[in-house]
Amino acid sequence: MANNFKMVAKTMYGFEDLLAEELKDLGAINVEPGVRSVSFEGDTGFMYKANLCLRTAIKILKPIQTFFVRSEQDLYDKVYRMEWERLMKVNHTFAIDATVNSELFNHSKYIALKTKDAIVDRFRNILGKRPDVDIKYPDLRVNIHIQRNQVTISLDSSGQSLHQRGYRTATNIAPINEVLAAGILLHSGWDGQSDFLDPMCGSGTLCIEAAMIACNIPANINRREFAFEKWADYDEELFEKITESSLKKTREFHHKIYGYDKAPSAAIKAKDNVKNANLADYIKIEQKNFFESEKETEGKLHMVFNPPYGQRLEIDMPDFYSKIGDTLKNSYPNTDAWFITADLEAVKQVGLRPSRKIKVFNGKLESRLYKYEIYEGSKKAKYN
């Protein structure tokens, strides 16, 4: 316990409780949900495990210093006094990400620049040389967060956002973010205990995330690297043990996962991504128009999809959503159907009463995740 330290996992709006549950299941202690974030405690091995396994986290930050400031000079002085030479070498590169919610400071890019200046000046004054900035692939990524006059300096242990799983090399016009996909699936209660269908699968992300949840495969097993692998105290042997232990907890999946898309190019891309994720044994992708399809399997079907919102695709939205409702009630008995949309007017044309609505965001678009329960026999479908 003495080796435990505080960390912060960043997430999307509406996923805080999901992430908190994930953290508790992994073994985190003192888990506290915030706004688009969850704080928790664990040791270095747990930090590695959190990056590898969490499905709804975007970043894992390790706070290293907290202080109060009265001015820009005060900020510079306190950042300057930190022993940055213990965290990186002069020939390393670094980057600063800043988030500001303060009357004292109102420009995050300026704060990032002041922080950079303090670090560079310290190296130059002590060693006569300075490290360079590399925004894309730094050796050390530093996060500075200012809330009113309180400053928290953290190390970003993730690097590139954790939604970049590493399996998706081919995408379509409006691909769904992998963390958003995982969060939607967890909100829907998907647990791998039935067949699964994404009838508008695009690049296959929901199918892939569904298979990884069903098989308990670590979310980021396909990533090439995490930022902590460049840290001075990186323990490669420990990370290998964490990875091996996590892979031993995978489980078999005894149902089927299907993905349909009417566009041939989308189906091809989805198959490529499924192959990249090493999940071709579990997922079947077909070129098929959902509106001309019927339920293929017996028993309960769990359906989750991300239909077009009309933002980047030119579609007659009221007609499109009307067809979704008709297809569900006429062709998909004994199905729990979930979908996310930002078009809150067109969704009224579905013609079925949702049993649940959950507010989420797709990027900056305020959206809703709807659940429709389709029973055996269309007469039992719930109408508005």
The beta-carbon contacts of 270-273 under 8 Å, at least 24 apart in sequence, are 270/201, 270/202, 270/203, 270/204, 270/207, 271/204, 272/169, 272/170, 273/167, 273/168, 273/169, 273/170, 273/203, 273/204, 273/205, 273/208
> Model confidence over 21-67: pLDDT tens digits?
999 999 999 999 999 999 999 999 999 999 999 999 999 999 999 99
**Residue linked to tokens 């044994």:** 281
Query: Closest Cα to residue 208, out of 185, 225, 242?
Result: 185
* Predicted TM-score of the model (pTM): 0.92
pLDDT at 366: 92
pLDDT at site 2: 62
Residue 382: predicted pLDDT: 44
Domains of the chain, first to last: 5-156 (3.30.2130.30), 178-217+250-380 (3.40.50.150)
Q: Calculate the alpha carbon distances from 6 to 2, 101, 122, 155 in Å.
A: 12, 22, 27, 12
If you count them, how many residues does the chain have? 384
Give the CA diameter of the chain. 80
What is the pLDDT at residue 103?
A: 82
pLDDT for position 172: 60
Q: Using CA atoms, how far apart are residues 361 and 342, in angstroms rounded to an integer?
A: 8
Q: What is the DSSP string of 145-178?
A: EEETTEEEEEEESS-S-TT--S------SSPPPH
CA–CA gap between residue 239 and residue 223 (Å, rounded): 14
Which residue, chain included where needed, has tokens 């007017």? 345
Contact assessment for residue 148 and residue 103, using Cβ atoms and an 8 Å cutoff: yes
List, for the chain, all residue ranges whose pLDDT scores fall below the cut of 70: 1-2, 170-174, 309-314, 377-384
